[in-house]
Structure 1
Amino acid sequence: MTKRYYFTIRYIPAHADFELLAGRCIYQMHLFMVNNPKALNKVGVSFPNWDEFSVGQTIAFVAEDKEMLIGLSFQPYFSLMANEGIFEVFNVCEVPGNLGEVRFVRNQTIEKNFLGSKKRRIKRSMVRAELSGKEQPLPVAAEERVVDHFHRVPISSGSSGQDYILFTQKEFAGERVEANFNSYGLATNEERRGTVPDLRF
């Protein structure tokens, strides 16, 4: 298969909010993709220090296009944070061939378990009922969902300016699947199932 490349960013302050910094890095990658259509859905995000407590002190970006990754690594935000002593940005390297495959999945169904989402769905149901002129029963949620371990990565939308959460899970994959990620470099439950190497530092 085609070679892959990666670069990592390590957050230097040991007690930083790693999820918040990951969200900022992912947002910069998202902006980079929007401005570079050939990068769209081709860059995957990996968390080499992921554990049950946090996404870890390092984020990695993985792609087959080395030059594109070099361009991403030189984004002004990353350079600024490096100059401020908050980030250490490493050079682009080739992915070793002996690593397992994982995917970091944005699981939007997790959000449905939270109160704010439930309120929004009930409100939409009431508006639909009002528009149709028929009385409709309120939706009843099956509350007994079992959710595997996840982390919350806060991010802002460039278009709407709204803040929201990327509910992210790590999933082991049996084999490499070609790059196919959402605009945040993550896999999804169904459509986007690209994998990244299981980098661990």
Structure 2
Amino acid sequence: MTKRYYFCIRYIPTDADFELLAGRCISQMHMFMVNNQQALHKIAVSFPNWNESTVGQSIAFVCEHKETLIGLSFQPYFSLMVNEGLFEISSVAEVPDTVSEVRFIRNQTIGKNFLGSKRRRIERSMVRAEQLGTERLLPVTREDRVINSFHSIPISSSSSGQSYILFVQKELADERSNSNFNSYGLATNQERRGTVPDLAI
């Protein structure tokens, strides 16, 4: 298969909010891809220090095109954070063939289990029932979902100005899959099933 490349960003302050910093880094990558359409869905995110309690103190970006990653690594936000002594950025390197494969999956169904989301869905269904002239019955909710470990990464949209949460889970993969990711560099439950190297450091 095609060679892949990566670079890592390590957050220097050990007491930083790693999820918040990951969200800011992902936002930068998202904007970079939107402004460089040939990169869209081609750059992926990996979390080398992911564990049960945190996304870890570093984030990695993976792509089959070395030049694309070099361009991403020189984004003004990353340079500013390096100059402020908050980030350490590695050079772009080739992914070793010996690493195992994982998926970092954006699982939007997790958000549906939170009370705010449930309330909004109930309100929407009641409004629909009223518009259709049917009886306003409360929808039946299923509470039997089992959710494996996940982390919440806050994201701000530069286009809409809205903030939201990426619910991300790590999944082991048997083999490498094609580079197919959403615009946040993540796999999804169904359509986008790309894998990334498990760059445990």
Structure 2 SS opposite 1:112: helix
Alignment of 1:32-43 (within 5 A): 32-43=32-43
The answer to whether structure 1 residue 103 and structure 2 residue 95 are counterparts is: no
Structure 1 SS opposite 2:79: helix
Per-residue Cα deviation, 1:129-151 (whole angstroms, up to 9, x for no partner): 12112224221111121100000
> What does residue 192 of structure 2 align with?
192
> What does residue 26 of structure 2 align with?
26
For residues 137 and 172 of structure 2, what CA distance do their matches in structure 1 show? 41
Q: Under a length normalisation based on structure 2, what TM-score does the superposition of the two structures give?
A: 0.98
For residues 160 and 135 of structure 2, what CA distance do their matches in structure 1 show? 33
For residues 52 and 87 of structure 2, what CA distance do their matches in structure 1 show? 23
Per-residue Cα deviation, 1:48-77 (whole angstroms, up to 9, x for no partner): 000011000000000000000000000000
For residues 171 and 152 of structure 1, what CA distance do their matches in structure 2 show? 16
Give the share of equivalent positions with the same residue, in percent.
Answer: 73
Q: After TM superposition, what 4+ stretches of structure 1 lie above 4 angstroms from structure 2?
A: none
Q: Under a length normalisation based on structure 1, what TM-score does the superposition of the two structures give?
A: 0.98
Structure 1 SS opposite 2:113: coil
For residues 82 and 186 of structure 1, what CA distance do their matches in structure 2 show? 25
Aligned residue identity for 2:200: R
For residues 161 and 124 of structure 1, what CA distance do their matches in structure 2 show? 23
Note the C-alpha offset of 1:37.
Answer: 0.4
Aligned residue identity for 1:195: T
Note the C-alpha offset of 1:93.
Answer: 0.3
Aligned residue identity for 1:132: L
* Higher deviation after alignment, 105-114 or 122-131: 122-131
Aligned residue identity for 1:113: N
For residues 141 and 165 of structure 1, what CA distance do their matches in structure 2 show? 22
Structure 2 SS opposite 1:142: coil
The answer to whether structure 1 residue 122 and structure 2 residue 122 are counterparts is: yes
Aligned residue identity for 1:39: A
> What does residue 140 of structure 2 align with?
140
> What does residue 16 of structure 2 align with?
16
Give the root-mean-square deviation of aligned CA atoms. Answer: 0.7
For residues 101 and 188 of structure 2, what CA distance do their matches in structure 1 show? 15
Aligned residue identity for 2:155: I
> What does residue 2 of structure 2 align with?
2
For residues 123 and 115 of structure 1, what CA distance do their matches in structure 2 show? 12
> What does residue 163 of structure 1 align with?
163
Aligned residue identity for 1:135: E
What is the aligned residue count?
Answer: 201
Structure 2 SS opposite 1:67: helix
